Amino acid sequence: MTRIKEFNLPDLGEGLTEGEILGWLVSVGDTIELNQPIVEVETAKAAVEIPAKWGGRVREIFHPAGSTVEVGTPIIAIDTDPDAGELPGATARPAGELPEPSAEALAAVPPAPAGPVEPGLIGGPAPGGRTPVLVGYGPRTTAAKRRPRKPTSPGTPPTQPRPAAAPAQPTGNRPPPPTAEPVLPAAQQVAPVAEPVSTGQRNGAVLAKPPVRKLARDLGVDLRTLTGSGPLGSITRDDVHQAVAATEAVAEPAGRTATTTAPSFDADRERRIPIKGVRKLTAENMVASAFTAPHVTEFLTVDVTRSMKALDRLRSRPDWREVRCSPLLLVAKAVLLAVGRHPQVNSTWAGDEIVVKEYVNLGIAAATERGLIVPNIKDAGRLSLRELADAMTDLVKTAKAGRTAPADMAGGTFTITNVGVFGVDTGTPILPPGESAILAFGAVREMPWVHKGKVRVRQVTTLALSFDHRIIDGELGSRFLADVGSFLADPEAALLAWT
């Protein structure tokens, strides 16, 4: 059995087909242990750290950070028995670097013969005066040439390469060649006008990618006059932009009389964000939900002054002083109690039947750097108010850190989205796939409100309930939303009456 084992990108849940490597936690040559985290990968669900399947030494990393890799593709090679000695020809190297020839390979190359060799054989003369040898081995027959340096300023010719060594003088009794006027190499001939030499040209052709060529055409730049700064002297977008900037700087004194500059509307003033990972999955789910389930949204404005006072009293209790108590906690509790009174709100459309679920996996929409995710609290209806508060705190912390596991975002049955934290009054939320209702909780504001026959300043919020009209009709949706509002208007009375 081989010592070198290749670790494939695993399926991280729910049939995901690919993942993006955010960063490697190990390097080539590191010694790792079993189950040690080695790479951080972002899927369409979340960012997760993948542990090592074997212990040993990292031999090779196949994909750098930023690569998108399909599930089942090898991403790293691990030597599971590094103490047994080096493998022949298996020197560790970074991804993409070619190995050096081993000593055995070099020894297998036959040495060049000492005496004269027949023409056409290895090491012997061939037509044109060259000496055929194995590619990559044998003596150098030409002097090394350096690529011309870039000009230090516009209009300055690049440094000329050094002339090659003089040819050997004829020996023996052969007559010397006829004398003729020496011809300088092309690089040493003096041109009437010094022009910059483009290192982006090879045999008269300009090395540039198609998008760069299009950009040059749009901006009116001649690629043959540029000096490439990319690999092998290829011309990049920056080279084109620098040429345009230099042209504008030269032409600026002549055009200073103009008072304004015409605005540009091209790719320089645009930013392109790849659609991948969490954002890609969210977009697909929202489109599927919006054009599959017939959405209906109802609104209810509620006086939540008593709820805010109840939270203040709760925070003052000794066993709640370290607990995060927010209005969202009472909204979640109101939803759970209202689902118990109207179970069909917590259901799924299954084509030829409606599946009513006796458990509530309560989803809380969370905005993260990678996009919107909706982790859920499993079987939240069985939790006490304190347990619910702790579960919501852990859920939000994990989501903000980007560590939510794919399993924590699967199987949701009802979702709450808190748009009030952004100062928004309410909205019309879209159903997560597989769910029949979602509640938007708006900002709590002090507003004039009629209370006990008088206009007073009260704390008021607006709720919005979107639901699937195939499952929930107007009456059921209205009763459910009214029960949630009734709880928030007087939570203590509702707890006594409903539990």
Strands 74-79 and 4-8 turn out to be antiparallel
Active site residues: 469
487/481 Cα distance (integer angstroms): 10
Angle made by CA atoms 259, 263, 268, in degrees to the nearest 5: 140
Residue 116: alpha-carbon gap to chain centroid: 62
The amino acid sitting at 480 is F
**Contact 158/187 with Cβ under 8 angstroms?**
no
**Contact 415/328 with Cβ under 8 angstroms?**
no
331/478 Cα distance (integer angstroms): 17
46/40 Cα distance (integer angstroms): 10
Strands 445-451 and 454-468 turn out to be antiparallel
444/301 Cα distance (integer angstroms): 10
Task: Give the number of other CB atoms < 10 A from CB of residue 318.
Answer: 6
Give one word for 467, left, alpha or beta, with left for phi > 0 and alpha for psi -120 to 50. beta
Task: Write the DSSP assignment of 248-296 as a string of letters.
Answer: HHHHTGGGTT-S------SGGG-------HHHHHHHHHHHHHHTTS-EE
Q: For residue 272, how many C-alpha atoms fall within 13 Å in the half-sphere facing its CB?
A: 4
The amino acid sitting at 422 is F
Q: What single DSSP character describes residue 126?
A: -
- Nearest alpha-carbon partner for 285 in 352, 202, 197, 374: 374
The helix or strand, by DSSP H or E, that contains position 246, with its residue range, turns out to be: helix 237-251
**Contact 375/389 with Cβ under 8 angstroms?**
no
| 390 backbone dihedrals φ, ψ, rounded to 5° | -65, -40
326/330 Cα distance (integer angstroms): 8
The amino acid sitting at 350 is A
CB contact burial 338-352 (16+ within 10 A = b; e otherwise): bbeebebbbbbbeee
418/402 Cα distance (integer angstroms): 19
